[in-house]
Amino acid sequence: MKRFAGFALDTSNQCLWQDGAQIALPPKPFAVLRYLAENPGRLVTHDELLDALWPDTYVQPQVLRTYVLELRKLLGDDARQPRFIQSLPKRGYCFVAPVTESSHVNGAHGVEAAPALVGRERELQTLQSLFQLAKEGRRQIVFVTGDSGIGKTALLDAFAGAFGPSVPASLARGQCVQGVAHREEYYPVMEALAGLCASEEGEHVCAVLARVAPAWLAALGRQVAPAGSMRGPGELCAALEEIALHRPLVLILEDLHWADESTLALISALARRRAPARILLIAAMNPQNPAVAHPLRVLRQDLGMRGHCSEIALQPLSKSALRELVAATLRQPDLPADLDTFVHRHSEGNPMFALGMLKHLITQEMLLRRDAGGAGPWELSQPVNTLELAVPDEQAHMIELDVQSLAPADQRLLEAASLFTVAFPAWGVAAALDEDPASVEEACDALARRLFFVRRAGYDELPGGAPSAFYVFAHGLYREVLYQRQAPARRAERHIRVAQRLAALFAGRETHVAREMAIHYEAAGNWMAAIRALQAAAQHASERESQRVMQDLLRDALRIADNLPAQQRALVAEEIAPFLSDSDAPATRP
């Protein structure tokens, strides 16, 4: 459910609410409002809106104008001083009201997103301190960095939400969008300016832009461009500094890893100007996103070296902070036993992953309210250690987008790496792909330098003394998505290559790695090869007088034998039975 200025857009029931009263909307006006509210603060062109809502039908753009007029009437909006939908002549529309999200995932008695920022008090205090410096005329540029889903937007929402009559400031916010940078210069800046011009300070902002940076105001569709005028960073920097004389200006640009070079040039110019200015520019980005281009890296390094910027790097939430997040989301201080431990382990402290897991547990009725009214405490339907959690759809889609942005060779390498459950060795990835180990290790090193979800973990010594690096996925969810995206036949082929490579590396000592070989053979569906490997390991354990280990291995072999046809299964059981205790011996099978 999306909320803005007293309204709530109910996307589940396709209606609008105002102060508890339901407002019915026909399907198409609702679709227009929903699309605009899902893309707040940026230009939505006529063509984009038409393609989104009428993908296979030719529709006159005039139809949009009719629906927007209808929406303005329902919202009480004024086209001349828009609070919700701003028209940009001959271009499209911009939804200028701040939009917040509350996600109901279990009907009327579901849970909402956490109502407050959790575990980021120190970072929020840092932003507030930087704002105080900016108020004194000491311009501030700060990069807020962190992995996808780590909470950059939540932090900025909490910071921006503190402004009001008691803490006056002009707030401008824009977001870079993947792919748009190649088509439209200054995209997030124009989005921020559009919102600023539509704010309560809009008349003053437009007057300054008209005088100091007229080409920028013309680009917003608010006046005709003077002859020979161009959008340059210098003119806008001067205009922003003058706007900030009236009120301190907070300029927030999100997802800077998708930014165009013109936007980066503007940030550089704004940071290097020496005159006092009451400006705080906050640039949020994922520094390990594959889209981070050389100019952005150079800009951050150069500004940092010269003392022109600072950085707030968001880390995963601690276990105690994540427990607080889960309790706030469920609105229940006393949580089911070990739920917070389970969510922390699988999310690895990533807030978005944690919330996605809670939604998934509720959707799958693994986390539920047993009372008929749906208002009682949340309970687990089964013990935590028996829960099987698939990657929630929203997170799987996000991870898939990250992976698809990589080169095909990198995707292939990461898929092979996902065959290993914990750390993946370079030699193992090379075996799975049937490629040169040294070249694969170099490629893994390159990925670990570029990607936030792959890290080098150390070195192994192979038989013969040769070193081989091994790596880990920073998030287990990435490993799971990469594993599942492979065709089963291709995945099985790669597992078998790894098992065969293990046998070759440890020739004469295969029993030392038999359990690992069995894991790969079982994953490939080669049941007999897995059973034979486990039997060999059990024989080795027996020779070393480790009866408990031997019986554990043989019980694994019996479990795998359940996949065999009845006759083969009986033969395996007959081989294994004499080595198991009476309680573990298999029952007679038909």
| Concatenated DSSP letters of 546-582 | -HHHHHHHHHHHHHHHTTS-HHHHHHHHHHHGGGS-T
Let me know whether 177 and 221 are in one domain. Answer: yes
* CATH code: domain of residue 203: 3.40.50.300
Q: SS in 3 state form for 3-37? A: EECCEEEECCCCEEEECCEEECCCHHHHHHHHHHH
Inter-residue contact 189 to 269 (CB < 8 Å): no
Residue finishing a domain among 357, 389, 421: 389
Contacts within 8 Å (CB) and 24+ apart, 12-19: 12/104, 16/74
Let me know if residue 398 belongs to a domain: no
481 and 524 fall within a common domain:
yes
- Measure the CA–CA gap between 37 and 98, rounded to whole angstroms: 9
Q: How many residues appear in the chain?
A: 590
- Give dist(CA 155, CA 188) in Å, integer: 19
In degrees rounded to 5, what are phi and psi of residue 391? -70, 120
Within a domain: residue 73?
A: yes
CB distance 292 to 257 below 8 Å: yes
Question: Collapsing DSSP states into helix, strand and coil, what is residue 252?
Answer: strand
The pair of three-digit structure tokens given for residue 23, joined into one six-digit string: 């407002």
64 is a domain residue? yes
In a domain, 47, yes or no: yes
Question: Is 109 contained in some domain?
Answer: no
Do 29 and 70 fall into the same domain?
yes
Please tell me whether residues 256 and 369 are part of one structural domain: no
Q: Are residues 11 and 158 in the same domain?
A: no
**Do 409 and 463 share a domain, yes or no?**
yes
User: Are 325 and 282 within one domain?
Assistant: no
Residue matched to tokens 């007999």: 528
- The amino acid at residue 535 is Q
Strand order in the sheet with 423-425: 423-425, 467-473, 454-461
| 116 within some domain | no
Q: Does 564 lie in the same domain as 418?
A: yes
Strand locations in 176-222, DSSP E?
Answer: none
Measured distance between the N- and C-terminal CA atoms of the chain, rounded to whole angstroms: 57
Where is the domain boundary, 275, 294, 313? 313
Domain final position from 270, 294, 313: 313
Residue 512 lies in a domain: yes
Cα(135)–Cα(244) distance, rounded to whole angstroms? 9
* Domain co-membership, 130 together with 246: yes
554/531 Cα distance (integer angstroms): 8
Residues 297 and 172 in one domain: yes
Phi, psi of 458 (to 5 degrees): 150, -160
What domain range is 201 assigned to?
Answer: 121-313
Closest Cα to residue 181, out of 257, 98, 120? Answer: 257
pLDDT for position 9: 85
As given in the structure block, the two tokens for residue 517 are 């070989």
CB-CB neighbours of 197 under 10 Å: 23
The pLDDT assigned to 433 comes to 96
Q: Structure tokens of 326?
A: 């889960």
Reported in sequence order, the residue ranges of 159-309 that DSSP labels E, i.e. its strands, are 170-175, 249-254, 279-285
pLDDT of residue 581: 67
416 and 481 share one domain: yes
Residue 407 lies in a domain: yes
List of the chain residues with pLDDT < 50 = 103-114, 583, 587-590
DSSP 415: H
- β-pair type (100-101, 85-88): unpaired
Burial class (CB in 10 A: 0-12, 13-18, 19+), 97: buried
Domain count, the chain: 4
DSSP 8-state assignment for residue 94: E
Is 572 found in the same domain as 481? yes
| 367 vs 403: CA distance, rounded Å | 30
Strands 170-175 and 249-254: parallel
Could you tell me the two tokens for 493?
A: 């082929």
Please return the burial class of 279, using the count of CB atoms within 10 Å of its CB with bins 0-12, 13-18 and 19+: buried
Distance separating alpha carbons of residues 94 and 43, to the nearest angstrom: 5
Query: What's the CA gap between 575 and 462, in Å, rounded?
Result: 33
Residue type, 476: G
- Where residue 7 sits, what CATH number does that domain have? 1.10.10.10
